[in-house]
Amino acid sequence: MLRLYRALERRFGPQRWWPGRTPFEVAAGAVLTQNTAWTNAAGAVAALRAARRLTPAALAGAPRRRLAAIVRSSGTYRVKAARLQAFTAWLLARFGGRFSGLRAAPLAALRREMLGVAGLGPETVDAILLYAAHRPVFVADAYTRRVLARHRLLRAGAGYETARALVEAHLPSDPALFNEYHALIVAVAKTHCRAAPRCEGCPLRFDLGGRPPARG
């Protein structure tokens, strides 16, 4: 797993994820990018900032319809507005809106609790925990599962939690490493490991050992 990481790092260099001026902004971006391209979510984050709604108190206090209009560029904007407010209400109730609480709470119980917040699935929860709170949780998204399956590290069709557990078991528990590794996997998935793999020239080709990629 580390050999793959180093090959990706050599090819793509530092990815500097996740863009965001504050942890709350990063978390809002994680919710807004669900099922949409980052450029659409980034537009919604910028609109929230321009409307001065990018603090827990300001976002929680926004009328729902007004908030939905602000995040319109993120697609399914009424759903996104509801999810943003559900997460914010939880953050305010649980930690007074402060990310220091997310950084200090026992991780497994915290993750379970966050998965109970309406509209937060594992990928969103883990992105918030990793990128906003710097907790050692790997975001085992579809790109990760595709690359690992094609390299026979994960069985084809394995679910999110299986992939997350596998990666976390085979890497040092280091949020900075998880942060960069996930960003690098996204980079290789967008450039080479697409729906139809383009292994020619891919930095991970060495790992296939001359075999074709597995189904994944």
If the CB atoms of residues 133 and 184 are measured against ligand SF4, the closer one turns out to be: 184
8 binds ligand SF4 (CB under 6 A): no
CB 67 within 8 A of CB 84: yes
Nearest to 212 by CA among 150, 160, 158: 150
- Could you report how far apart the first and last alpha carbons of the chain are, in Å? 17
Nearest to 64 by CA among 82, 43, 50: 82
Prior bond to 90 cis, omega within 30?
no
80 binds ligand SF4 (CB under 6 A): no
Residue from the set 55, 193, 209, 211 that interacts with ligand SF4 by CB under 6 A: 193
Cα dist from 116 to 119, 122, 125, whole Å: 8, 10, 10
Q: Which of residues 153-192 bind ligand SF4 (CB under 6 A)?
A: 188, 192
Residue from the set 37, 186, 205, 215 that interacts with ligand SF4 by CB under 6 A: 205
If the CB atoms of residues 145 and 192 are measured against ligand SF4, the closer one turns out to be: 192
* Distance in Å, CB of 204 to ligand SF4, minimum: 4
Q: Which of residues 129-148 bind ligand SF4 (CB under 6 A)?
A: 147
Residues that bind ligand SF4 (CB under 6 A): 147, 150-151, 188, 192-193, 197-199, 202, 204-205, 208, 213
